């Protein structure tokens, strides 16, 4: 069976959920060979093996954290040369897409980004993507070279599928471009303790209707009652009420959780682009004409300052 390279997203050895989802999809098109880079790479092997990795290629070097993107491309290129895979898969993120894109150029291959599904086809893997603010579903494939495909979080279930997961050290030679962009300082984002926005099963977002940074605690309280991530519309972010890293929409994050709750968000096309593929959509807005109501499974026309706290209390009561 053909081997498929799977790039591993991990934090000091803790594998992030989208990588495990990706292993589920990778098994549909071949035998997953995982590539884990940086500090803690070897520690990823056990969980990757549980989810189907037949092999885990690891490498660590200061270059991976001291310089932007290119050292990781050099490593992927080495893995590609060692394995000759049928496809190279990445969990979609801004950085991973950049790594995949540069690798694709080097190996003379096409790239598909933000796939929401992946299946084996006669002419190689077929990817499903959402286009035009998710108003279209597009099926496409890479027609030149070895397919490089990035897959959005929440595109597949995490499934156990024990495999060997043999760890092998990957020999990486860094090219001249590897040290081109130096990371001169890094300030870690303070953890809120909430799930990561793009990975979360439930996202609770606030928009213009929240009417001030000081009111966002209402949204946060609802999110916490559900174990959800907090999102914000562009209007709320541009007004400075919530950080840009939480923005859902065309110029922010694209999410497709099981449940999306929009509060005080009208549903402009730019916002819809980032959340329209959510499985269940719920909205609370005082304007009955707001376009968000065209998308919802359940909508409440009302004042979020009354509805959201009541909802939060009710959820807490039901959860006991």
Establish if 159 lies at the interface with another protein (CB under 8 A). no
Establish if 143 lies at the interface with another protein (CB under 8 A). yes
Establish if 297 lies at the interface with another protein (CB under 8 A). yes
Q: Which stretch binds another protein (CB under 8 A): 25-33, 48-56, 74-82, 298-306?
A: 298-306
Which helix (DSSP H) or strand (DSSP E) does residue 294 occupy? Answer: none
Residues 192-211 within binding reach of another protein (CB under 8 A):
196, 198, 202
Q: Which of 91, 100, 125, 153 binds another protein (CB under 8 A)?
A: 100
In the complex, minimum distance from the CB of residue 55 to another protein, in angstroms, rounded to a whole number? 27
Q: Which stretch binds another protein (CB under 8 A): 25-33, 43-51, 53-61, 180-188?
A: 180-188
Q: Which stretch binds another protein (CB under 8 A): 49-57, 77-85, 129-137, 206-214?
A: 129-137
Farthest-apart Cα atoms in the chain, separation:
60
Q: Give CA–CA dist 219/166, Å, rounded.
A: 45
Q: Which of 1, 81, 144, 157 binds another protein (CB under 8 A)?
A: 144
In the complex, minimum distance from the CB of residue 12 to another protein, in angstroms, rounded to a whole number? 11
Establish if 110 lies at the interface with another protein (CB under 8 A). yes
Give backbone dihedrals phi and psi of 44, rounded to 5 degrees, phi first. Answer: -80, -20
Establish if 84 lies at the interface with another protein (CB under 8 A). no
Q: Give CA–CA dist 157/172, Å, rounded.
A: 32
How many CB atoms sit inside 10 A of residue 201's CB?
Answer: 15
Helix (H, G, I), strand (E, B) or coil at 81: helix
Q: Which of 39, 221, 239, 315 binds another protein (CB under 8 A)?
A: 315
Q: Which two tokens stand for residue 226?
A: 């559900």
Q: Give CA–CA dist 193/214, Å, rounded.
A: 20
In the complex, minimum distance from the CB of residue 105 to another protein, in angstroms, rounded to a whole number? 4
Establish if 319 lies at the interface with another protein (CB under 8 A). yes
According to DSSP, residue 48 is labeled: H
Q: Which of 44, 58, 109, 154 binds another protein (CB under 8 A)?
A: 109
Q: Which two tokens stand for residue 111?
A: 């790239």
Listed residue (140, 102, 101) closest to 123, CA to CA: 140
Give backbone dihedrals phi and psi of 76, rounded to 5 degrees, phi first. Answer: -65, -35
Instruction: Considering the complex, state which of residue 168 and residue 220 has its C-beta at the smaller distance from another protein.
Output: 220
In the complex, minimum distance from the CB of residue 188 to another protein, in angstroms, rounded to a whole number? 5
Radius of gyration of the chain from its Cα atoms, rounded to whole angstroms: 21
In the complex, minimum distance from the CB of residue 239 to another protein, in angstroms, rounded to a whole number? 13
In the block, residue with structure tokens 């009208």: 266
In the complex, minimum distance from the CB of residue 221 to another protein, in angstroms, rounded to a whole number? 12
Listed residue (286, 276, 282, 290) closest to 311, CA to CA: 282
- Cβ neighbours for 238, distance < 8 A, ≥ 6 positions apart: none
Q: How many residues interact with another protein (rule CB under 8 A)?
A: 92
Establish if 309 lies at the interface with another protein (CB under 8 A). yes
């Amino acid at each position: 069976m053909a081997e498929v390279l799977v790039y591993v997203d991990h934090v000091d050895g803790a594998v992030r959920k989208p990588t495990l989802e990706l292993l589920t999809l990778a098994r549909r098109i071949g035998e997953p060979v995982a590539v884990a880079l940086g500090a803690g790479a070897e520690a990823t092997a056990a969980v990757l093996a549980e989810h189907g990795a037949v092999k885990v290629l690891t490498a660590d070097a200061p270059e991976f954290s001291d310089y932007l993107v290119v050292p990781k491309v050099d490593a992927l290129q080495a893995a590609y040369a060692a394995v000759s895979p049928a496809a190279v898969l990445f969990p979609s993120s801004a950085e991973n897409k950049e790594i995949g894109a540069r690798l694709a150029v080097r190996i003379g291959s096409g790239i598909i980004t933000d796939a929401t599904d992946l299946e084996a086809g006669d002419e190689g893997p077929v990817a499903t993507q959402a286009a035009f603010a998710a108003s279209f579903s597009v099926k496409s494939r890479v027609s030149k070279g070895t397919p490089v495909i990035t897959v959005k979080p929440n595109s597949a279930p995490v499934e156990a599928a024990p495999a060997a997961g043999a760890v092998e050290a990957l020999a990486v030679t860094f090219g001249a471009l590897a040290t081109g962009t130096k990371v001169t300082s890094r300030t870690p984002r303070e953890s809120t303790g909430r799930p990561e926005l793009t990975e979360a099963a439930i996202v609770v977002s606030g928009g213009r209707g929240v009417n001030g940074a000081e009111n966002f605690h209402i949204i946060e309280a609802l999110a916490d009652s559900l174990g959800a991530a907090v999102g914000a519309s562009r209007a709320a972010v541009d007004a400075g009420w919530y950080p840009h890293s939480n923005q859902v929409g065309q110029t922010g994050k694209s999410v497709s959780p099981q449940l999306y709750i929009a509060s005080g968000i009208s549903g402009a096309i730019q916002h819809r682009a980032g959340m329209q593929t959510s499985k269940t959509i719920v909205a609370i807005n005082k304007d009955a004409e707001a376009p968000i109501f065209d998308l919802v499974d359940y909508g409440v026309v009302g004042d979020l300052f009354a509805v959201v706290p009541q909802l939060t209390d009710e959820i807490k009561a039901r959860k006991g």
